[in-house]
Amino acid sequence: MGMNPAPTIEQQELLDLHLQLVLEENQRSNLTRITDWEQGQLLHIEDSLLGLPELLSAPAGRYGDLGTGGGFPGLPLAIMSGRQTVLVDSVAKKTQALDRIIEQLGLQDQVHTFTGRAEELALDQPESFAVLTARALSSLPSLLELAAPLLQLGGQFICYKAQVDDAELAQAAQLEEKLGMKLVSTRSETLSDGTTPRSIFVLEKVAEPTVKLPRRPGMAQKRPYKA
C-alpha cells in the first residue's frame, strides 16, 4: 500500500475543478478554512488521495464520506475510484454547495449527497455501505459508533487522522467488541511538504454490534461509549 495510481488527465482536471469550485463557493459559505490554491492542492487533494489504496482494496460496493464538508476526502476518492458515492453532511448549505459542484463536474450519475447526520442516514439506509471514510469529523470512538450501523458485514471504514493519540486508540480498541468493528491496518505517511504527518486507520465490520445503533443523534459525539 502507499502507491497511488497517477490521475489521468481527465481525473486531474476534475480534481482541480473541484478545488477551484470549493475555493469559489467559500466566498459565500464557509466550506473550508483553506483559501489558497497551493495549500488546497496539498491539504485537500493530496491528503484526500492518501486513502486511495485502502479504498481501492475495500470490498466492492457503495461508498460514503461522513462529515464531508467541501467534499474531502469523498469527492477526490470518487473521481479516482469511479465508485457510487454518497457525500454526507448535516449542514444543508454544504450539501447544496456540493450538489452544484457535482453537477459542474458532470458526476451527478455517480456522486450524491445526503443532508443529515450520519445517525439519520443509518436509520434511513442501514448496513448499505461497503466502505466509508471520515476526515476531521470526530474522535475514533465516536467515529466507530457512527460507522458501524451503516456498514454491511465485511465493510470497511477508512479513518483519516492528523495525529495519532494513544489514549484515543486505546479507547477505540476497547470498543471493538461492542461495536463489531476491528482494526485491520494502520499506515503513517508524511505529505509531500515533508512536514505534515498523517495516519490512515482501516476498521472492518466483523460482527453485528452488541448494542442497538444508532443511538439518538448527537450521542456518539457528545457522549462516546467508554467500553
Instruction: Give the shortest CB-153-to-ligand SAH separation in angstroms.
Output: 22
Alpha carbon dihedral 66, 72, 76, 79, in 10-degree steps, equals 40
Among 18, 62, 117, 205, binds ligand SAH (CB under 6 A): 117
Determine, following the binding rule CB under 6 A, whether residue 83 of this chain makes contact with ligand SAH.
no
Residue 196 grid cell: 505534515
Determine, following the binding rule CB under 6 A, whether residue 69 of this chain makes contact with ligand SAH.
yes
Instruction: Give the shortest CB-90-to-ligand SAH separation in angstroms.
Output: 4
* Distance in angstroms (rounded) separating the CA atoms of residues 80 and 65: 14
Which helix (H) or strand (E) segment holds residue 95: the answer is helix 92-105
* Distance in angstroms (rounded) separating the CA atoms of residues 157 and 62: 12
Contacts of residue 126, defined as CB under 8 A and 6 or more positions apart, other chains included, come to 149, 150
Determine, following the binding rule CB under 6 A, whether residue 85 of this chain makes contact with ligand SAH.
no
Instruction: Give the shortest CB-133-to-ligand SAH separation in angstroms.
Output: 8
DSSP string, 8-26: PHHHHHHHHHHHHHHHHHT
Binding mask 184-213 for ligand SAH (x = CB under 6 A): ------------------------------
Whichever of 68 and 171 has its CB closer to ligand SAH, that residue is 68
Instruction: Give the shortest CB-30-to-ligand SAH separation in angstroms.
Output: 9
Whichever of 9 and 163 has its CB closer to ligand SAH, that residue is 163
